[in-house]
Amino acid sequence: MKIAGVGSAFPKHYYDQDLLVAALKNDWRHRLPNPDILDRLDDSMKVDGRYTARPIDFYENMHRWGQANDVWIEVGLEIGEQALCRALVGAGVAPDQLSAIFVTSVTGIAAPSLDARLANRMGLSRNIKRVPIFGLGCVAGAAGIARAADYVRGYPSQAAALLSIELCSLTLQRDDLSMAHLISALLFGDGAAATVVVGDEVDSDGPEILATKSVLYPNTERTMGWDISEKGFRIVLSPDVPETVLRHLGADVDEFLAEQGLRRSDVKSWVMHTGGPKVLEATAEALGLEKKDLEASWECLRKVGNLSSTSVLLVLEDVYKNRRPQPGTLSILAAMGPGFCSELVLLRW
């Protein structure tokens, strides 16, 4: 199995981080005991700017979950179509040649799901196998690649796509002044990305997927996720996330590699989810890496923030198009997310 194409797309509204912080301070100035806490928090985010689904003044009047979800469907379909088209073109696969599509998002819901609506918009095959995924959050970019690989392993002459659409700005809860939500409002952004995975009988010069592994950590449900009410999604984000990365990631990667007869020193390229500065620092420490080893992840975080499941795919796109390793190089693509869990993918370029 190989990753044959990667593409991304974003809403048309992009704002510098300073402007976004100023807007939040203006909205919360009478409710936060000290609005300057947003400046102090933002100093640690390492984010220059983010895309938003709607112009910034829209969010001042976003009061209902249904209102936000309608925008999620509209904008999600728009940028999802663009990202999937770009990945398909890169892979040399026509829309009606796609045999399966996995669509992941944790920032909205729809029935019929987005994959069905995209099939109508894009002329996908009437026989396409559709697998909408909800609830995996940040880990879903890596997990979706693994599930697409599972599919084409069984159908080696076919192509499957993973599409991630995350519009995190639409989960803003203006009456939630918890530290978790303040961090979320300063860190997460909007966008979409797609990959096309092909079976062994399809030609491609993309990286080969050698193995995948899922790891679920027992009794960690409150580490990350959503509480869902009549107002929509309310962030669950424990300060223990970096410690969880430190505690588990290194051993999980070593065990995964050992199962393939490899060691950590055999891996020369790392495609890691941009969970935030503390998570990236914990990732480097857990794996014994230097900051330059995660340069693509840091650059993605700086440019657009954390886009949940989309982020690791944006890092993959950057490596795929701009930082491609020498042939034969081994990479680990990985993400962690709600569960709490990790997903590991071993690639050979």
Query: Which residues does the annotation mark as catalytic?
Result: 138
- Is-contact 304 213, C-beta < 8 A? no
Q: How many residues does the chain have?
A: 349
Q: Which residues of 282-312 are buried (b: 16+ CB within 10 A; e: fewer)?
A: bbbebbebeeebbebbbbbbbbbbbbbbbbb
| CA 275 vs CA 55, 90, 137, 245, 287: distances in Å | 25, 27, 11, 10, 15
The whole-angstrom separation of Cα 294 and Cα 199 is: 29
- Is-contact 338 217, C-beta < 8 A? no
The whole-angstrom separation of Cα 14 and Cα 36 is: 23
| Distance in Å from the first CA to the final CA of the chain | 12
The whole-angstrom separation of Cα 98 and Cα 96 is: 6
Give the position of tokens 């223990």: 240
In sequence order, which residues have a C-beta less than 8 Å from that of residue 165 and are 6 or more positions away? 76, 79, 80, 83, 103, 104, 105, 107, 114, 192, 310
Q: Which of 5, 304, 21, 339 is nearest to 167 (CA)?
A: 304
